[in-house]
């Protein structure tokens, strides 16, 4: 398969017509071997305009939506980025290519193994990505404060515990789906001790299990 050609088709057919203009994102998605970040059985679908199944109900977000989330995040050089629900590591590689110093948290050991193998084969700045196994909904307080928290999946809300891990002036980007509503990409900012969230564009993807309410005890 012509993977370079598939990436060009992905960028020209999905990103450019859908308001993705950041040249860093365009360059990274043309270069990064997206097919390395999916299970072997999903390689033919790696560049399709859809979420790609990773197993266990998890997905790699469709290219255009992930690109728009990254563009909304506006990652700056050397910013401390906490990426939650890192999955197979593709989003972490994109964030690192944009200049971020990325701490990527994932709770699924199989996906972490896939991410490690994939990231070993891509070119990113040495030390720019740290993979951490853990509950994504809890973040990674040991590395706080962060300039940006990016949640790579759908959540019902941005937990208060994560907001506390943001630096003053820090940002949070997520796909939020409120009860009875469609999903939306949201941008949150921590300023003056408060945290405000605004919707940016319609966006739907698979929910992240770590962020779902846990069933209570039944007596």
Structural domain span for residue 173? 3-211
Q: Is the pLDDT of residue 139 over 90?
A: yes
Question: What's the domain count of the chain?
Answer: 1
Considering the domain boundaries, does residue 98 fall inside one? yes
Q: How confident is the model at residue 215 (pLDDT cuts 50, 70, 90)?
A: low
Distance CA 113, CA 121 (A): 13
Considering the domain boundaries, does residue 197 fall inside one? yes
Reported as a single tens digit per residue, the pLDDT across 75-131 is 999 999 999 999 999 999 999 999 999 999 999 999 999 999 999 999 888 899 999
Considering the domain boundaries, does residue 9 fall inside one? yes
Considering the domain boundaries, does residue 216 fall inside one? no
Distance CA 86, CA 141 (A): 16
Check: pTM over 0.85? Answer yes or no: yes
Q: Could you tell me how far CA 151 lies from the centroid of its own chain?
A: 5
Considering the domain boundaries, does residue 185 fall inside one? yes
CATH code of residue 55: 3.40.50.150
Considering the domain boundaries, does residue 164 fall inside one? yes
In this structure, what DSSP letter does residue 217 have? P
Reported as a single tens digit per residue, the pLDDT across 166-205 is 999 999 999 999 988 999 999 999 998 899 999 999 999 9
Considering the domain boundaries, does residue 217 fall inside one? no
Considering the domain boundaries, does residue 147 fall inside one? yes
Which residues have CB under 8 Å from 148's CB, separation 6+? 73, 75, 79, 80, 81, 82, 100, 170, 171, 172, 173
């Amino acid at each position: 398969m012509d993977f370079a050609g598939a990436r060009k088709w992905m960028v020209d057919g999905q990103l450019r017509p859908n308001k993705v203009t950041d040249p860093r994102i365009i360059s990274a998605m043309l270069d990064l071997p997206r097919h390395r970040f999916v299970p072997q059985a999903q390689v033919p679908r790696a560049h399709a305009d859809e979420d790609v199944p990773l197993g266990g109900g998890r997905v790699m977000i469709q290219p255009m939506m992930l690109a728009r989330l990254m563009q909304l995040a506006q990652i700056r050089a050397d910013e401390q980025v906490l990426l939650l629900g890192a999955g197979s590591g593709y989003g972490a590689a994109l964030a690192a290519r944009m200049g971020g110093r990325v701490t990527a948290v994932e709770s699924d050991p199989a996906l972490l193994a896939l991410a490690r193998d994939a990231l070993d084969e891509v070119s990113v700045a040495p030390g720019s990505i740290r993979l951490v196994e853990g509950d994504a909904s809890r973040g990674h307080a040991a590395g706080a404060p962060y300039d940006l928290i990016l949640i790579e999946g759908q959540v019902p809300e941005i937990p208060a515990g994560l907001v506390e891990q943001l630096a003053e002036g820090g940002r949070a980007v997520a796909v939020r789906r409120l009860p009875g509503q469609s999903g939306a990409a949201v941008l949150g900012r921590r300023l003056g001790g408060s945290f405000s969230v605004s919707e940016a564009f319609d966006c739907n993807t698979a929910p992240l299990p770590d962020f779902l309410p846990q069933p209570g005890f039944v007596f």
